[in-house]
Structure formats: C-alpha cells, structure tokens
Amino acid sequence: MKRLSVLLALLASPAMASTGPFFSLHNTDFIVLLAFLLFIAVLVYFRVPQLVGGLLDKRAEGIRNDLAEARSLREEAQEIYASYERRQREVKTQAEEIVANAKREAVLEADKAKAALKLSIERRLKAAEEQIASAEGDAVRAVRDRAIQTAISAATEILGKQATSDQRSAGIDRAIADVERRLN
C-alpha cells in the first residue's frame, strides 16, 4: 500500500507537468521529492512516529487516569452528599424531637403554673374570707359593746330616775351573787 501511494505520488500531475527528464537534478520537483523522502527517512530513523505514538499513548493514559480519578472523586462526592443528606435528615429529626419536647415541657409548665395560680387564688380567697370573718367579728363585738354601753347608760339613767340608792345597792349585790353563782 505504501509503495502504491509513492508510485501515485510520482505519477502525480505536477511532476508530469515539468519539462525535461524527471530524474534530473535540474528538475526542482525531483529535488523536492528527494528532500521529502530524506525528511521521512530521518523521521523514521530517529523513530519520531514511535515517539509521537508513545507521547500520544502517555497522553491517552494520563487522560484515562484523569477520568478514573474523576470517577472516584465523583463517587466520593456522591458518598459525601449522601452522608450529608443522612445527617440533614438526622438533624431535622432531632430538631423535630427538640420542638416536640419543648412543646410538651411548655404544656407541663403551663399546667403547673395554672395549678400554682389556682392554689394561690384559693389561699388568697381563704385569707380574704378569714379577714372578712375577723372584720365581721370585730364589727359584731363593736356593735355589741356599743349596744351594751348604750344599754348600761340607758339602764343607769332609768334606774337613776326610778330607784333609790338602797335599791341600787341591793341590785348590784344581787348581780354580783348571780355572777359568782354562774362562775362556780
């Protein structure tokens, strides 16, 4: 195949267009052909195609390695993302539990506060009722004392007008005897 392509290159129309013999050093086309063939020979002698192929192979291997590394990084990123999502779900669950616990505690504290308020109100009502009862007792005693004083002064005035001093002394003696009898 290579020989056929070289033969076709020699039979190409620009080479046939020159005047005079083709295989002459005076023909520029022949000189260019010889220089090209010499260049190709130097490239083959120094194994440039193999070096270029080796470089291309190295580059392809580097690209394969980069792709493998990219795949591993992608898998690692997916694992990190999955762990992040798991962690996020766990944190969300914990947050929901914390909120639920806080609500329960708030309800319990509110119930305790209501009970304490109810107890406080009951104590204050009882204290107020006791104060009212005490005030009532004081008022009844004050009215009774006033009524007694009024009755005593009225009785003194009436007795003073109706009874003599001997009758009054006898009444006081009877009252003292009556008190002694009741006390014993």
Are the C-beta atoms of residues 40 and 55 closer than 8 Å to each other? no
Q: How would DSSP label each residue in the chain? A: -HHHHHHHHHTSHHHHHSSS-SSSTT-HHHHHHHHHHHHHHHHHHTTHHHHHHHHHHHHHHHHHHHHHHHHHHHHHHHHHHHHHHHHHHHHHHHHHHHHHHHHHHHHHHHHHHHHHHHHHHHHHHHHHHHHHHHHHHHHHHHHHHHHHHHHHHHHHHHHHHHS-HHHHHHHHHHHHHHHHHHH-
What residue segments make up the domains of the chain, in order of their start?
A: 1-46
Q: What is the pLDDT of residues 96-147, one digit of tens each?
A: 999 999 999 999 999 999 999 999 999 999 999 999 988 888 888 888 888 7
Q: What is the pLDDT of residues 44-92, one digit of tens each?
A: 999 999 999 999 999 999 999 999 999 999 999 999 999 999 999 999 9
Least confident of 28-32, 39-43, 86-90, 150-154: 150-154
**Helical packing angle, 48-162 and 28-45, nearest 10°:** 60
